[in-house]
Amino acid sequence: MNEEINKALQTLKEGGLILYPTDTVWGIGCDATNSEAVEKVFKLKQRNDSKALICLVADDRMLKKYVKKIPDVAFDIFDVSEDPITIIYDDAQNLAKNLIAEDKSIAIRIPNDDFCFQLLRRFNSAIVSTSANISGMPTPKSFKEISQEVLKGVDYVVNLHHEKICSKPSSIIKLSNDGVVKIIRA
């Protein structure tokens, strides 16, 4: 795994795109602070850049770098959630401008996956994580379902967990600073 992390790190540092296994589905990733890399993700996915992307962070310490005010209920959700959960926060900061939604929010997940955790810790920065498909196409449930267009469009494919079958993407909850909680995807 260490060799795969090193290769992925090198690609991320160079502004490239990686295809990598996450705690949910295979993801297309890049440095979440690099606007040019984020633009490459939108281009590869053929996705309108007004549709926000999810990013991953290693832990709540790293989360604090990218969200001005984390609602207290977020920490409760981390403690009780057994399934992967992405939270949309208000007032994103220190990320690529084209990654942040028009309302200044950002979707972030702390993955429960050893490879992702080690990669994030060593990169010491948020990484984009969007499903490995062209926009509008089905989300691949396994590595073998990823299209050739996506495979050829990234700079590095992580050589781990190619046999893993993914059940579903994460749940998504929006936690507004005014206390409103909204379920986006269950």
Whose CA is closest to 151, among 8, 17, 46, 2?
A: 17
Q: Are 172 and 181 in contact (CB under 8 A)?
A: no
pTM, 2 dp: 0.93
Q: Is 176 exposed, middle or buried (0-12, 13-18, 19+ CB in 10 A)?
A: middle
pLDDT per position as a tens digit, 122-171 = 999 999 999 999 999 999 989 999 999 999 999 999 999 888 887 678 99
CB contact set of 137 (below 8 Å; sequence gap of 6+): 147
Whose CA is closest to 164, among 185, 149, 146?
A: 146
pLDDT per position as a tens digit, 4-59 = 999 999 999 999 999 999 999 999 999 999 999 999 999 999 987 777 899 999 99
Is the pLDDT score of 109 beyond 80?
A: yes
Give the three-state DSSP class for 92. Answer: strand
Q: Counting every residue, how long is the chain?
A: 186
Q: Classify strands 156-157 and 18-21 as parallel, antiparallel or unpaired.
A: parallel
Residue with tokens 């281009």: 43
- For residue 87, list its beta bridge partners: 108, 173
pLDDT of residue 49: 72
Q: Token pair for residue 100?
A: 């942040």
Whose CA is closest to 119, among 54, 29, 24, 25?
A: 29
pLDDT per position as a tens digit, 164-181 = 887 678 999 999 988 888
Give the three-state DSSP class for 40. Answer: helix
pLDDT per position as a tens digit, 64-76 = 999 999 999 998 8
Q: Are 46 and 184 in contact (CB under 8 A)?
A: no
